[in-house]
Amino acid sequence: MTGAAAIIIALVQLVLFVFLAPVLIGVIRQVRARLEGRAGSGIWQPWRDVRKLLAKNPVRAAGSSWMLAAGPVTLLVSSLLLCALLPLVGTLPLPLIPSDLFVIVSVMLIGVVALALVGLDAGTAFGGMGSSRHMTVAALVEPTLLLAVYALSIPAGTSTLSLIVETRLANPAVIISPVSLLAMVALAIAIMAETSRLPVDNPSTHLELTMLHEAMVLEASGRDLAWLELGSWLKLAALLGLLSNLIVPWGIVTDFSVLGVIVGVGTVTVKVLLLGVVLSVGEVFLAKARLFRVPELLAGSFALGLLAVTASYLVA
């Protein structure tokens, strides 16, 4: 029974996030445009972009391999897996594959690797540059990401994310404990770096000096580009969903009921979009950090994570 309920919730999460992710990007761009005094293209533009890209003939460079076709699909599937596994609408774990922290991170890394290989395969200087920077950042983000969630896992005594969220729901004092706050800041920085947002990467430029993500997708076109974009958006939406459920766990479904699922869908949508607005407003006031300042940022966030873990052992 719980198995069937968990599968239904996973399906709901998938459908919701595939719909929500482009809207989230649309909202982020629109808020930013308005704050900068531009009219903006409306919140549905990312959806229209995907439709347009799917209706185009992809152009691939002569001499590129199957990776240019398979990589984007891999990235998309890895992001879809994230949406199915993470506790977004509900915390019911799927049978045999709980939302284990380490599994989640590895799933994300599959997408990271697929994107980096796509960047390399085109055989251009830009693609290689983006790929190299992307992997360097990814390598440095991983310790922060794992330590931050490790710190969050200690009060719950498990590395399963849905149980961590349930613990925080049952005992809200955990959320505002100093350890949890430290870990959340570390996690937020890691997620910003992982999803190529400011100050690590500037998602809205094509300027050589600042590009990470955009450099890798330069050679992709048509549906290849559509998969890459959709995959990245889904990842951002899913991670923001996780972050918001860790900060404000209320509304998430713990026992299956139709009304509960509707409430869960509504709250997670609101939470993700609100966090998107916050992100967008924050990005207006941020400049991109120099590439070689990024390790300092990540080292700072790593220190916070380590502090959180050791503190929770020695103080609590």
Partner 1 sequence: MTALEAGMLSQTLLLVVAIAAALATPLSWRSRVSGTFCTLLAAAGIVTGAIALAGGTGSLSIPTALPMDPLALSPDRLGGLVMVVVSVVGVLASLFGIGSARVASASRTAWLSMAVFLFGMQLVPAATDVVSFLLFWEIMTLGSTALLLAHHATRGTVASALVWYSAMSQLSFFFVLAGFAMLAGLAGGTGFADLATIDPFTWQASVAFLLLLLGFGGKAELVPLHVWVPRVLPEAPGHVAAAMSGAMVNIGVYGALLVVVRLLPDGPAWWGVLIMALGGVSALYGILQASVASNLKVLLAYSTTENMGLVFLGLGASVLLRADNATAAADAALVAALLLMLSHAAFKSTLFLGAGAVARAAGEMNLDRLGGLGSRMPWTAAAFGAAAMGAAALPVTSGFVAEWMLLQALIHGSRVDGEVVSVAASVAMPLAVAVIALTAGLALLTFVKAYGIAFLARPRSQEAKQAREVPVIMRIPLAIGALLVIGLGVLPGPLAVAIGGAVGPEFTPDVRTIGLAGIDARGIDAVLDPITFVVLAGLLLVPVLIVLFLSARRHPTRTSPLPWAGGGSRLRPRMQYTATSYAEPLVRVFDDVLRPSRDVEVTHAGESRYLVERVHVEQSVSDVVETRLYRPVLNLMQRAGILARRAQNGSIHRYLSYSFVALLVVLIVVSL
Q: Which of residues 7-36 bind partner 1 (CB under 8 A)?
A: 14
Q: How far is the CB of 142 from partner 1 (least distance, A)?
A: 4
Q: Does 61 bind partner 1 (CB under 8 A)?
A: yes
Q: Does 235 bind partner 1 (CB under 8 A)?
A: no
Nearer to partner 1, 27 or 113 (CB): 113
Quick one: tokens of 222? 């048509």
Q: Does 177 bind partner 1 (CB under 8 A)?
A: no
Nearer to partner 1, 184 or 275 (CB): 184
Of 28-36, 126-134, 164-172, 267-275, the segment contacting partner 1 by CB under 8 A is: 126-134
Of 67-75, 197-205, 243-251, 273-281, the segment contacting partner 1 by CB under 8 A is: 67-75
Phi, psi dihedrals of residue 94, rounded to the nearest 5°: -70, 145
Of 108-116, 169-177, 245-253, 280-288, the segment contacting partner 1 by CB under 8 A is: 108-116
Out of 2, 3, 55, 207, point to the residue binding partner 1 (CB under 8 A). Answer: 55
256 touches 92 (CB < 8 A) = yes
Give the closest residue to 169 by CA, choosing from 155, 181, 185, 183.
Answer: 155
CA distance 111 to 117: 10
CA angle 11–16–22, rounded 5-degree value: 135
Q: Does 70 bind partner 1 (CB under 8 A)?
A: no
Nearer to partner 1, 31 or 156 (CB): 156
Nearer to partner 1, 27 or 220 (CB): 220
88 touches 242 (CB < 8 A) = yes
Q: Does 76 bind partner 1 (CB under 8 A)?
A: yes
Give the CA radius of gyration of the chain. Answer: 19
SS3 state at 67: helix
- How many Cα atoms occupy the beta-carbon half-sphere of 148 within 13 Å? 26
Q: Does 290 bind partner 1 (CB under 8 A)?
A: no
Residue 180: partners with Cβ closer than 8 Å, 6 or more residues away = 151, 152, 155, 174, 308
